[in-house]
Amino acid sequence: MQQWWTLPWLCALLLGLMGLRVSGSDFQHHRYEDMVRALFAVQNECPYITRIYSIGRSVEGRHLYVLEFSDNPGIHEALEPEFKYVGNMHGNEVLGRELLIKFSQFLCEEYRAGNQRIMRLIHDTRIHILPSMNPDGYEVAARQGPEFNGYLVGRGNSREIDLNRNFPDLNALMYYYEKTNGRNHHLPLPDNWEHQVEPETLAVIKWMQNYNFVLSANLHGGAVVANYPFDKSRDPRIRGRTTYAATPDDKIFRKLARTYSYAHSWMHKGWNCGDFFDEGITNGASWYSLSKGMQDFNYLYTNCFEITLELSCAKFPPASALPREWLGNREALVSYLEQVHHGIKGMVYDENNNPIGNAEISVSGINHDVTSGVDGDYFRLLLPGTYTVTASASGYLPSTSTVTVGPAEAIQLHFYLKTAPKQNLKGKPHHGKKNLSSPKAPLKLGPR
């Protein structure tokens, strides 16, 4: 008797019950031209909900293309959060690149098929997908192929610079401010920072400046674990010692990491690639300290919460492994994206109902503020609970409210700020030196 309940059949059945169709399109590795064709094919297939734009060029002149999904592509809608996925930061870590190409095709297919879960996501979220942050490094790695790819060949960009060690070091400044009661968010960049980073890094930072991202994930390979900030330890390096470096939002970051880990088919089991990570998650600095990384930079310079996803033991898995990896990651990619809709969100207005941009939103007990965007809307990821929230802006009296957050959709909480009497206006204190630097540390070449 034939065993109709084989594992592939069961996977297809379960995914069908969840409203996620199994696509029949081929799995393959995409060189740069193939990737561009694949992205434009998605845009052509779903023209009303997608847009392709370039955030800049690599050292060798390749465009860093982003595919956007939205019911109004190219437009930020007030109270609609911005989300991003970034892949292939290390050129020889290719699974994230292929998963994001496949995820783009999946979103388009499912939207057209009437999948209510995917339609709701695209209607309520502005989704930005950058499949390859390092197309030059990928081409170096791809020329060797999966069979012969070395651990480091193609990791950096064409100048062999590790892009995940290339962002301005704001951790040193943050740790100094923690001791001096300085500012806790949107830290200033060093002087001449644009000349100190690679073109790919510069393009991503400019991208962050132009979009008020709320949540993000950075897809890597070489391990299987969801890694969350801080990546850089607060303590001086001691050989053989690792120290946990918690952010003020440590509980939220742990929840975000667990969301991906437990929605992933095997990440949450802990034992992968010869390593063990409890629940399939880790604090970055607890694993090993890393300076000038992208996820810490997101948290310290923007409103965005980012985690780093290590998705495969093999940095360059063969094409035959891609279907299994897709099935293992598909639900996790959707579930993590949905987390952008938790916590609180709202508008900050003045007395005449004009939106106030760059207003600070602080939560009592969590020493990390966020700011409203140019349209006056803000988004604050929070776990379920009751919070005291204050909105403040230069020239206005602060306003405080108490709100209870549930486990479902974000609670809307609007603020109306009154103009402060002139005698109450006070200049903000100067928060430390702008380009505080830290000693150079030896290069650490782990998966991240």
95-127 pLDDT, tens digit each: 999 999 999 999 999 999 999 999 999 999 999
pLDDT at 425: 47
Q: What is the CATH number of the domain that holds 348?
A: 2.60.40.1120
> Could you count the other beta carbons within 10 Å of the beta carbon of residue 384?
12
d(CA 291, CA 29): 31
pLDDT at 319: 95
Q: Does residue 258 sit within a domain? A: yes
- Mean pLDDT to the nearest integer, 223-252: 89
Q: Does residue 169 sit within a domain? A: yes
Q: Among residues 314, 341, 368, which one ends one of the domains?
A: 341
Q: Is 147 an annotated catalytic residue?
A: no
Q: How confident is the model at residue 7 (pLDDT cuts 50, 70, 90)?
A: very low
CA–CA distance from 177 to each of 168, 170, 184 (Å)?
A: 16, 10, 7
Q: Among residues 341, 375, 398, which one ends one of the domains?
A: 341
- Mean pLDDT to the nearest integer, 339-361: 97
Strand partners, 276: 271
d(CA 207, CA 56): 9
Whether residue 85 sits in one domain with residue 68: yes
Total tally of structural domains belonging to the chain: 2
- 61 residue type, one letter: G
Whether residue 390 sits in one domain with residue 314: no
Least confident of 17-21, 368-372, 375-379: 17-21
Query: Which domain does 393 fall in, by range?
Result: 343-419
CA-closest candidate to residue 157, choices 136, 177, 142, 172? 136
Strand partners, 128: 68, 84
Q: Is the distance from CB of 306 to CB of 339 less than 8 angstroms?
A: no
Q: Among residues 291, 309, 341, which one ends one of the domains?
A: 341
DSSP character at residue 355? B
> Residue 256 above 50 pLDDT?
yes
Whether residue 318 sits in one domain with residue 376: no
Q: What is the CATH number of the domain that holds 161?
A: 3.40.630.10
- Which is more confidently placed, 167 or 14? 167
Whether residue 55 sits in one domain with residue 79: yes
> The tokens of 280 are what?
């399939």
Whether residue 360 sits in one domain with residue 336: no
- 235 residue type, one letter: D
Whether residue 354 sits in one domain with residue 240: no
Omega within 30 of 0 (cis) for the link into 103 = no
Whether residue 305 sits in one domain with residue 203: yes
Q: Does residue 4 sit within a domain? A: no
Helices (H), 74-180: 95-113, 116-124, 135-148, 171-180
Helices (H), 227-316: 250-263, 284-287, 294-301
Q: What residues have CB less than 8 Å from 126, skipping those under 6 apart?
A: 68, 69, 70, 76, 77, 80, 81, 82, 83
Query: What per-residue string of b and e applies to 240-260 under the rule 16 or more CB within 10 Å gives b?
Result: eebeebbbbbbebbbbbbbbb
pLDDT tens digits, one per residue of 184-198: 999 999 999 999 999
pLDDT at 422: 82
Q: Does residue 438 sit within a domain? A: no
Q: Rg of the Cα trace of the chain? A: 22
pLDDT tens digits, one per residue of 125-153: 999 999 999 999 999 999 987 766 667 89
How far from the centroid of its chain's Cα atoms is residue 417's Cα?
Answer: 31
Least confident of 8-17, 363-372, 402-411: 8-17
Strand partners, 227: 282, 308
pLDDT at 227: 98
What proportion of the chain, given as a percentage, has pLDDT over 90? 84
Strand partners, 355: 349
Q: Does residue 164 sit within a domain? A: yes
The phi and psi torsions of 308 (rounded to 5 degrees) equal -110, 125
> Residue 24 above 80 pLDDT?
no
> Residue 19 above 60 pLDDT?
no
Q: Does residue 103 sit within a domain? A: yes
pLDDT tens digits, one per residue of 296-328: 999 999 999 999 999 999 999 999 999 999 999
Q: Does residue 322 sit within a domain? A: yes
Catalytic residue, chosen from 310, 325, 338, 360, is: 310
Whether residue 403 sits in one domain with residue 280: no
Whether residue 334 sits in one domain with residue 249: yes
Q: How confident is the model at residue 26 (pLDDT cuts 50, 70, 90)?
A: confident
3-state secondary structure of 322: helix
3-state secondary structure of 375: coil
Q: Is the distance from CB of 363 to CB of 382 less than 8 angstroms?
A: yes
Whether residue 357 sits in one domain with residue 224: no
Whether residue 393 sits in one domain with residue 267: no
Whether residue 241 sits in one domain with residue 226: yes
Q: Does residue 398 sit within a domain? A: yes
